[in-house]
Chains A and B, each alone.
Chain A
């Protein structure tokens, strides 16, 4: 009979990890919904932004200011990437666009390594990993609590932007039907650039929240990025609530798997989830993308 406390402990750990996956998944889904682009550079942009925050803090900036600056920089860079690289390639095939973001991922990763070096660094974070709270029989670190809180705030903020602003309405219109939106006078180019910027900033936030737990190095976001991808697939590639749900589910499932079956094959399990989802329910938990063939 499994211990209830242990299960609750795994659940909390899984939710903390799942929050990160959900943030990454949101960025991926935001872009996929808007322009049917799989952004393979998402993780590398997040890493680069985290390094920017790191450098700013080393230069004496406070954590909130440095993070905000990194988020803004990532957002502007992502919007610029859309306007300069992807906009001209909008006629390209699916393969062409995937290839472009893959190239971008390589460039960003290479530049991060070249500028900041490959050795790991400790990311100064205001919340501690070792200071813990006891809630009943469950131990929660300050860091996980902060992480989940920050995730909640970001998801709520994104919800407000997408559902309750004019820009969000335009984003949804462009995502639903680009030509119709343009015919109604929505500036699709600017809205898509805005979407990219939003996704970039979300990615940067995910990077900054990942760094204290994993240490900072150029390959830091590879694992969370791939898990975020898995979460996005699980939840449905075209559904924002799906991305959050998928990310959280993946985090919890993964933690339970690690706790009860095998820690070693934790990541393998995540990809088993992807493959199974794609085979059994390709549109994901909450996705609605019409499948051309059954």
Chain B
């Protein structure tokens, strides 16, 4: 049983509570923080865009793993929440002439949280059928929701600009000395870091434990006093909130959105990120999102092969390492820590 040996022994309760443990942990966190702070200053332009894209994917994937990995509710409609977030920022940022207070358009620090909240509202709505449906039926319901949102956006031209798309006003931090792209990179990485931190904390709290309990057995969870209606709806709303904020950031990165960017394929890609990184771990979702953002960038020469690569990666991951990349890393770490044993 060497493989399963616990290597991070915790002797006291406050050690168990600590978010970051040990010198190595703190060094890693500091190193990551420094990298995130310095990267937007010095990175070349094309990497900046990749970083912003990776940040949006990280946000969406972390939200999805809270729902699918932790709560066990499969969603194949996540691109719809991303779209809702993107269009919320787009429409509010452009301004709504019909409403007196909104004619001029709102700044990003108002529209981004609103994007998350509107998406969360829809998430709670999708969560309602989830109270009765399990397994494949829920998958189909979310799939249908995703397609329906895409269809509505394509056809409701007054809202979405139809197939022509919707231009997005530029968001800046208001720092004069930095180019807008670098400011956006700071904004993106900062938002992603904040939301990941929230997710990590949430997953360790009573909310996270309730999610896991529902995943493992909803009846047992209910018996233990987990309010199923409340927590399932919360999981959907929370996950959709992440997707909505991710969508706002995505819209900002591309500065132009159209319904074709939020199809079933995008939903599957988000799913792939979560699976490749490792289900039900926040670091796994982050790793999966970053890896699956970088791989297509390296593969630009063979763009049409991107779906094949994604698909093959998913199948291979399920066959070889169902715990995902992060699970593999944990095993390597455990092996090294216990090494010559």
Contacts and interface: CB of A to CB of B under 8 A. Distances in A.
Interface stretch (A65-73, A110-118, A175-183, A242-250): A110-118
* Size range of the chain A interface in the assembly: 35 or more
Contact of A222 (B152, B264, B272, B279): B264
Contacts of B128: 279
A9 interface: no
Given A99-B271, A114-B308, A264-B155, A278 B140 contact: yes
B74 interface: yes
B312 to A, nearest CB: 6
A215 B94 CA distance: 38
A105 interface: yes
Contacts of A265: 151-152, 155
A274 B144 contact: yes
Overall SS of chain B's interface: helix
Interface in A228-254: 229-230, 233, 237
A247 B144 CA distance: 16
A24 to B, nearest CB: 14
B315 interface: yes
B169 to A, nearest CB: 29
B164 interface: no
Interface stretch (A90-98, A123-131, A155-163): A90-98
Given A102-B268, A106-B268, A279-B132, A95 B312 contact: no
B147 interface: yes
B307 A107 contact: yes
Interface string B71-94: 010101000000000000000000
A275 B304 contact: no
A293 interface: yes
B318 interface: yes
A275 B132 CA distance: 12
B312 A38 contact: no
Interface residues of B, number: 47
A86 to B, nearest CB: 10
Contacts of B143: 226, 229
A109 B314 contact: no
Contacts of A102: 76, 268, 271-272, 311, 314
B315 A100 contact: yes
B145 interface: yes
Given A110-B305, A114-B305, A293-B132, A92 B151 contact: no
B231 interface: no
A63 interface: no
B311 A99 contact: no
Contacts of A110: 304-311
A25 to B, nearest CB: 12
A268 to B, nearest CB: 4
Contact of B318 (A92, A108, A113, A292): A92
Interface string B309-338: 111111100110010000000000000000
B161 to A, nearest CB: 15
B153 to A, nearest CB: 10
Nearest to B313: A103
A94 B136 contact: yes
B141 A89 contact: no
A58 interface: no
Contacts of A114: 304-305, 308
B68 interface: yes
A106 B314 contact: yes
A111 B129 contact: no
A31 B308 CA distance: 24
A95 B264 contact: no
A272 B149 CA distance: 11
Nearest to B269: A106
B221 to A, nearest CB: 13
Contacts of B318: 89, 92, 96, 99-100, 103
A151 B337 CA distance: 63
B13 to A, nearest CB: 33
B100 interface: no
A100 B275 CA distance: 10
B50 interface: no
B307 A113 contact: yes
A117 to B, nearest CB: 9
15 contacts: A85-B315, A92-B322, A98-B139, A102-B311, A103-B310, A103-B318, A110-B304, A114-B308, A233-B137, A265-B151, A265-B152, A271-B144, A275-B145, A275-B148, A278-B132
Interface of B: 68, 72, 74, 76, 128-129, 132-137, 139-141, 143-145, 147-148, 151-152, 155, 218-219, 264-265, 268, 271-272, 275, 279, 304-315, 318-319, 322
Given A106-B314, A237-B136, A293-B218, 14 more contacts: A102-B271, A102-B272, A109-B307, A110-B311, A111-B308, A113-B304, A229-B140, A230-B144, A267-B148, A268-B155, A271-B148, A274-B144, A275-B145, A278-B141
4 closest cross-chain pairs (CB), A and B: A106-B311, A103-B314, A110-B307, A110-B308
